[in-house]
Amino acid sequence: MKRIHKRIVIAGALFLAALFLLVGRLVQIQLISTESFSKHNINLIDESVRQRTHSFMINEGRGLLLDRKGQMISAELKPAIILFPFIKEQKGAIDKVAAILDKQPENIKSALKRHEEPFVIADDQDQLTQETMEEINNLQLPGVYAQYISRTKHSPFAGALLGVTGQAPEIIKKKYPDKLEKGTITINTKIGKTGLQQAFDPFLISEGETKLIYHVDRSGSPLFGLDVKYLSPSNPFYPVSVKTTIDKNLQEIMEKSVKASHIKRGGAVLIDIETNELLGMVSVPYTSGLIKNQMLSRHAPGSVFKLVTAASAIEHQDLASGRTFDCNLGIDGKEAKHPLGRLDFSESFAQSCNRTFGLLANEMVIENPKRIDEYAEKLGLSGRSGWRGQVYHYQDFAQFPEEEAGNIWGASYDKKVPLAISQTAIGQKDVQVTPLSVARMVAAIARGGTVKEVKAATEIEYKNGTTFLSFPDHKTEDKIEPYTAKKLQMLMREVVTSPKGTGRALNELPYAVAGKSGTAEKGGSEASNKWFAGYFPAGQPKYSLVIVDLDYKGGANGVLSAYSEIVKQIYKYDKKNK
Answer yes or no: is pLDDT of 258 > 70. Answer: yes
Specify the pairing of strand 210-215 against strand 53-59: antiparallel
Mean per-residue pLDDT, 1-24: 67
Q: Most distant CA pair in the chain: distance in Å?
A: 121
Burial of 504 (0-12, 13-18, 19+ CB in 10 A): middle
Please list the alpha-helical segments (H only) found in 28-149: 44-51, 93-101, 105-114, 130-138
Mean per-residue pLDDT, 303-318: 91
Cα(first)–Cα(last) distance of the chain, in Å? 108
Answer yes or no: is pLDDT of 422 > 70. Answer: yes
Question: What confidence score (pLDDT) does residue 42 get?
Answer: 47
Under a CB-based contact definition with an 8 Å cutoff, are residues 243 and 97 in contact? no
Q: Is the peptide bond before 239 cis (omega within 30 degrees of 0)?
A: yes
C-alpha 61/C-alpha 72 separation (Å) is 14
Question: What confidence score (pLDDT) does residue 178 get?
Answer: 87
Question: What confidence score (pLDDT) does residue 20 get?
Answer: 67
pLDDT band of 525, cuts 50, 70, 90: confident
Question: What confidence score (pLDDT) does residue 11 get?
Answer: 67
Question: What confidence score (pLDDT) does residue 44 get?
Answer: 42
Question: What confidence score (pLDDT) does residue 222 get?
Answer: 55
Answer yes or no: is pLDDT of 502 > 50. Answer: yes
Answer yes or no: is pLDDT of 419 > 70. Answer: yes
Q: What are phi and psi of 144, to 5 degrees?
A: -130, 120
More confident residue, 569 or 167: 569
Question: What confidence score (pLDDT) does residue 37 get?
Answer: 46
pLDDT band of 26, cuts 50, 70, 90: low
Q: Name the CA radius of gyration of the chain, rounded.
A: 32
pLDDT band of 207, cuts 50, 70, 90: confident
More confident residue, 54 or 296: 296
- Inter-helix orientation angle 418-425/371-378, to 10°: 10
Question: What confidence score (pLDDT) does residue 220 get?
Answer: 53
Domains (range + CATH), the chain: 80-152 (3.90.1310.10), 248-287+295-576 (3.40.710.10)
The pTM is what? 0.85
pLDDT band of 224, cuts 50, 70, 90: very low
Answer yes or no: is pLDDT of 27 > 60. Answer: no
Question: What confidence score (pLDDT) does residue 25 get?
Answer: 59
- Average pLDDT across the chain, whole number: 88
CA–chain centroid gap for 322, Å, is: 47
Strand partners, 222: 216
C-alpha 394/C-alpha 401 separation (Å) is 13
pLDDT tens, residue by residue, 108-150 = 999 888 888 888 888 777 778 889 999 999 998 888 888 888 8
**Is-catalytic flag, 303?**
yes
Count of other CB atoms within 10 angstroms of residue 346? 16
Q: Which is catalytic among the residues 303, 437, 517, 528? A: 303
Q: What percent of the chain has pLDDT over 70?
A: 88
pLDDT tens, residue by residue, 74-110 = 888 889 999 988 888 788 889 999 999 888 999 999 9
| Torsion angle of C-alpha atoms 249, 251, 255, 256, degrees rounded to 10 | 20
Question: What confidence score (pLDDT) does residue 362 get?
Answer: 95
Question: What confidence score (pLDDT) does residue 50 get?
Answer: 47
Answer yes or no: is pLDDT of 428 > 70. Answer: yes
Answer yes or no: is pLDDT of 47 > 50. Answer: no
Mean per-residue pLDDT, 325-350: 95
